[in-house]
Structure 1
Amino acid sequence: MKTKRGFRRLGVIFIMVVMAIVSACSGGGGTSGTSAPAAGNQKQADSKGPVTVTVWMGSWWADYTTKIVDAYKKDHPNVTLKIELLPINGYLDKAISSALGGNAPDVLDLDGLMIPAMAGKDLLEPWDDYIKELDRKDFQDAPWDASTINGKLYGLPNRGESVVFFYNKTMFDEAGVPYPKDSWTYADMLEAAKKITVPGQKYGVGIAATNSDPANVMTSFAPVLWANGGDFLNKGNTEATINKPEGVKAIQFWTELYTKHKVVPEGSINFALTKDVQPMFLNNQVAMMPGSSAMVFLMEKNPQVKWGMVYAPDKFGRSGAWSFTVPKSAKNKEAAREFVLWYMKPENMGAFNSVFPSRKSATTVAPWNSKEMQYLLSAAPYQKGVPAIPAWTEMQVAIVNELQKVLSGAKTPQQGADDMAKQMNALLKK
């Protein structure tokens, strides 16, 4: 009996020792031993086991996706990034249908123009509770504002484009016209365009008016509206103001570049900046056009073109903004946020961005630290965004359709503006 009791006593002691060791290693129980990793700590994340984070991005990220995947794997060995690239055509429709269908990616890169549409349908998670360590002042204002809907932040901006004007020095030289300066106005632009234009051969300026890419048209038209003191909606975004005198004046100026002065190419009513105007700029057929960092890269690939940059007339430009969002139906939200916050670090954004970074501190490395790119950064304070409201996607379609009717002569600027306002107000009431 004593022998059995001895074995039992040894067994109890052995179990107690094992439990003490397990408790110490896990950080639970007593005050001694190692504490558990804090929330968000990499060891804690890795202990959860392998996870795949699906990311949807635009096709323009193609040259950088492998680098992003490899770099993230080094820092997060148990996480596999699956980056899928989508064309811009149909991008928003696919994003919305995937989110509604419950098969959304974990991270969705969205244009600032798209965020209101998805946030308005309650399809995105807000970021406000996860960004305490981010320096808001380091981000450009326009991209951040474009991601903020009704006081909540639904996207973390990775792209912050400034739109300036590019001018063809060869065409200016041939016409004997001085190069534009940062203090120029739209009246100055029109005068230069008149002197440069030779109908059927070359044109002073390029505009976009195609209804196949309304956002592209906003880059061309919105700055003219703002420069004339007009806007799309009132400050509370409760009523259309585009049919006010300032708005009508802007529509008249912009459309008369085509209808009256004929300083823009024939067929501009169906033109996009990238697809149609850029090739004409490269071929010395269009002397001026709005553009951003992508235009700088294009010029570097075409050294035969002599070109310069200048702030847009009256300095206004439409900011280009893309942000990383997390859909509500995402399957790996915690891992998705961890990836986005990793990417938001200046050293990562500067190294892997295919377009101009939204953080100023991310522009200290090549190619963003070049003279041309820093000039774009200097234009950031003059950039504005279109209204960040759910109805905007439909509104801009209505605006472009009416602009085309004015361009074709079917309506006067006032009639077009009134019909824009009518449709915009109806959308606001939905």
Structure 2
Amino acid sequence: MKRRFMLVLAVVLVLSLAACGKSENGSPSSSPAGTKAPDASAPPKEMKLKIGLPGAYDVTKKEIIDGFIAKYPNIKTEVVEAPWGDFTTKITTEIAGGTAPDIWFQENAVILGYGSRGIAEDLTPYISKDLKDDEYISGLFAAKASDGKVYGIPHGINPVALAYNKKMFTDANIPVPTDDWTYADMLDAAKKLTKDTNQDGKTDQYGFAASQGITQGWYPWTRSHGGQVLDESKTKAMFTEPKSIEGVQAWADLVKDGISPDADFLKLAGGDWKAFGAGQAAMFFMQYSTQVLINKEFAALDYDTVMMPKGADGTRIVPMVTNSWLIFSKAKPESKEAAWEFLKYYLSEEAQTILAQSGSSIPVQKNAITKLDTNVNPKNKKAFSEGIAEAGVTTDENPSWQEWRLAAQPFYTDMFTQKISVQEGMKEIQQKVQSVLDQNK
């Protein structure tokens, strides 16, 4: 009798578990009694997303935004656009008030700063879950902080290469640059290409147009001579190291020795790229996006690019600049989810190919890089893409990059214009930058 009672009790227990949708071990039943299996064809949940576009569609391709909206009709997307300056001024107030867009982009260094202040969402878990690293170049992690967290996704990569005027080299019977050129090779050719073509005692053709800024100017010259700007931790200034001084001296000597036009000449010309486009300079370090300007204003110019020259020790440094997308940490969970869907779409081959064909920046998706437009100058786009692959570096970006760079730049300008010596200028920069770094620890 007791055995029969126990048997009945066991049957009742099993039936009760089944009715609750549980198996005997407590796991979900494969076919719960009285319930229907999830409908795989059910429409995706509706989400809201606000995208901020500084610079509007002059900076971000409208086709990409439209493509995302068409592909994800369940995500009610609002686009907020404004001129770059207006947007970046207003965003500070919006961040403080918690009303910023769910996703927007700014300079990579700014994004790193946002990350350190808890404004930008850590994207590391998203990337680990949904992306395959081998499908992207290393620039995907341009917004990776020293703590290993990734706070942004590249809007696009803007690297530097050596641009040269083909006709000027041909007319001077000088072999055109190659990817094997060193800085010494470049300087040797620049000296030969610097001329007084009017025979009036004034140089009107320069071999090289130097930049006063960081990315195309003093940074690559510093690094190419074995110097450093900041140490690996990005907390210690390295400006007064002997190799750093040597590199900046070589950069300042371009003007001192008459190989590059001075600041007044460049200002009158409209900048280094305009001096190059007008045939007043045979070479300059060109950022990728500048091709759009040159091809528009100097359509007849016959020019091309090679990778950045190698330093004295045979190594190459290719500075690259990127704006990066961030997800606002205070956005609603469903909006963060929608923002990540947008970033996945932005990183897809479909969207990255649109970016590649725009000429404004290099995509980070490897297949899309093969679709760069090689039918327009500069035709050797590999000077940029392979340059990144071999030696791409950011300009020592950290959360205080904007602050320390602005503290240093006036002294670089004074060195470029020969107002102060390189030794004096680098000493001042060392003190100013280290002070900024210490205040931001």
Counterpart selection for 2:36 from 19, 28, 33: 33
Contact 1:147 1:157 in 2 (8 A): no
Unmatched 5+ stretches in structure 2: 1-29, 196-201, 311-315
2:141 equivalent to 1:144: yes
- For residues 328 and 68 of structure 1, what CA distance do their matches in structure 2 show? 24
Contact 2:205 2:279 in 1 (8 A): yes
Contact 2:105 2:323 in 1 (8 A): yes
Partner of 2:226: 229
Unmatched 5+ stretches in structure 1: 1-26, 210-215
Partner of 1:397: 406
Partner of 2:286: 291
Q: Could you tell me the TM-score, scaled by structure 1's length?
A: 0.81
2:151 equivalent to 1:154: yes
Q: Deviations over 1:8-59 (max 9, x none)?
A: xxxxxxxxxxxxxxxxxxx99757522277xxx993333x5xx342222435
Q: Which amino acid aligns with 1:34?
A: A
Q: Deviations over 1:106-133 (max 9, x none)?
A: 1111222322222232211111121212
2:191 equivalent to 1:183: no
Give the CA deviation at 1:164.
0.7
Alpha-carbon RMSD: 3.0
Taking structure 1 as reference, are residues 267 and 118 closer, same or farther at Cα in structure 2, changes over 3 Å only?
same
2:92 equivalent to 1:96: yes
Percent identity for Structure 1 against Structure 2: 24
Q: Deviations over 1:376-401 (max 9, x none)?
A: 21111212112232111111112211
- For residues 147 and 266 of structure 1, what CA distance do their matches in structure 2 show? 37
Contact 2:119 2:328 in 1 (8 A): yes
Partner of 1:250: 247
Q: Deviations over 1:201-229 (max 9, x none)?
A: 221112222xxxxxx53232211111111
Q: Which amino acid aligns with 2:369?
A: T
Q: Could you tell me the TM-score, scaled by structure 2's length?
A: 0.79
SS of corresponding position for 1:162: strand
- For residues 241 and 410 of structure 2, what CA distance do their matches in structure 1 show? 19
Contact 2:347 2:364 in 1 (8 A): no
Within 5 A, what are the aligned runs for 1:102-141?
102-131=98-127, 132-141=129-138
Contact 1:226 1:316 in 2 (8 A): yes
Partner of 1:240: 237
2:180 equivalent to 1:172: no
Q: Which amino acid aligns with 1:343?
A: Y
- Matched residues, number: 389
- For residues 375 and 38 of structure 2, what CA distance do their matches in structure 1 show? 43
Counterpart selection for 1:427 from 431, 436, 440: 436
2:322 equivalent to 1:321: yes
Q: Which amino acid aligns with 2:53?
A: W
Contact 2:109 2:399 in 1 (8 A): no
Contact 1:56 1:105 in 2 (8 A): no
- For residues 87 and 286 of structure 2, what CA distance do their matches in structure 1 show? 22
Counterpart selection for 2:67 from 65, 71, 81: 71
Give the CA deviation at 1:73.
2.4
Contact 1:156 1:324 in 2 (8 A): yes
SS of corresponding position for 1:45: coil
Give the CA deviation at 1:61.
3.9
Give the CA deviation at 1:289.
1.2
Contact 1:208 1:271 in 2 (8 A): no
Taking structure 1 as reference, are residues 295 and 410 closer, same or farther at Cα in structure 2, changes over 3 Å only?
closer
Partner of 1:378: 386
- For residues 86 and 218 of structure 2, what CA distance do their matches in structure 1 show? 22
- For residues 60 and 111 of structure 2, what CA distance do their matches in structure 1 show? 25
Q: Which amino acid aligns with 1:285?
A: Q
- For residues 81 and 275 of structure 2, what CA distance do their matches in structure 1 show? 28
